[in-house]
Structure 1
Amino acid sequence: MHRAYQPITPANNKLLKKRWDQSRFDIHRKKVVQARPVIDNIPPETYMHLHLKLKKLQMEEERLATVERDNRILMEKMSYIMRTKGRVDNWNSYEQKSLNKTKRQRELLRVTHENQAILKRISSKEPHYNHYVWEDAWRVNQGYMANISKYPQDWGYTKNSLRYSSQPQSHPSNKVPRRVRETSPGKPKHEDR
């Protein structure tokens, strides 16, 4: 193994040269490990009396104790006032009055009368469209659709559905409204089929 060593400086014996170089390198590494820094980078010493400040803590506790005492006294006074209504005997029973109260009442009454008149006009107004005529037209259209349709109206029901159940079910489209018979131009009458 020593024959593979290539020293930097020339030597007669490579084995001895390798040992000397290794011992020199070990001494160098030991010095590097034991070297002390030139710059002082350790933190400065801390003194507890500069950070803790016991006098400040004591003053803060005294201040909090004073505040707590004052709050307790105020709470006792307030609870006494709530229990006994205080020691005041000149209660003023004045109710706030509005200068525009009568005007607002008149305005509200006027608006109410106008709304009632509008409601009466709307409820007494006859409609422009006759929904009985619309129902007759719908019934006629349903008949036309039944005549021209390729499949019956209940063709989509299966054996498990309403079509093959034990009780007869009415299909929603089979419900036909009552017929209307016109007796006078203003008032239609219903006629059961």
Structure 2
Amino acid sequence: MALQHRAYQPLFPTGNKYLQQKWDKASYDLHKQKVKSATPTISKTPPKSYGHLAVKLKKLKLEEERKMKIKRENNMLMEKISHIMRTTGGVDNKNSYDVKSLGKKKRQLELLRITNENQMILFRLSQCRPHYNVRSWHEDWLKTLRVMDSIARYPRVRASQQKGQEKPSKKSNDAATHSLVTNNSNNKPESAENESS
């Protein structure tokens, strides 16, 4: 044990290993003591508690007011029930009330006025005569067809018959009028050919 200092290897060169070991051991013990007694730099204690945050007097006050209101309503209800129990009760179950409306008469008069106006408009529309004459339109169209056939080099009926594109779905009136016009126009070119020959 007395010769332990000879096996000690100091960090820096020294003249006396025994003294250097003693000083190093003393500084190491001091370091360990400081580590044990060191205080933390970050506080790990719980935060300070405040009484007004824990108790919440406003919430207790609101709860108390709500209980007082419920108690007052219960007392009123109890008084009503006791009054009904003491007496026969003032409930009338007869349902003879007629529903009345303040604006019923005015609405009926307005509806009657609107109905009368609609009837007058309908009467005027039914008595109204049309401004356009369909017969004159038809006669104008027949004249137009005659003119078209007279100025055409080949009549339209013959060309459609040669191509086989005659449509049977046309209205009978249009077909009849068209055939009359084309017959008249067919007669005219033949007479012209006869004259030229």
TM-score scaled to structure 1, two decimals? 0.35
Higher relative contact order (CA 8 A, sep 6+): 2
TM-score scaled to structure 2, two decimals? 0.34
Flag the structure with higher strand content: 1
Flag the structure with higher helix content: 2
Which one has a bigger Cα radius of gyration? 2
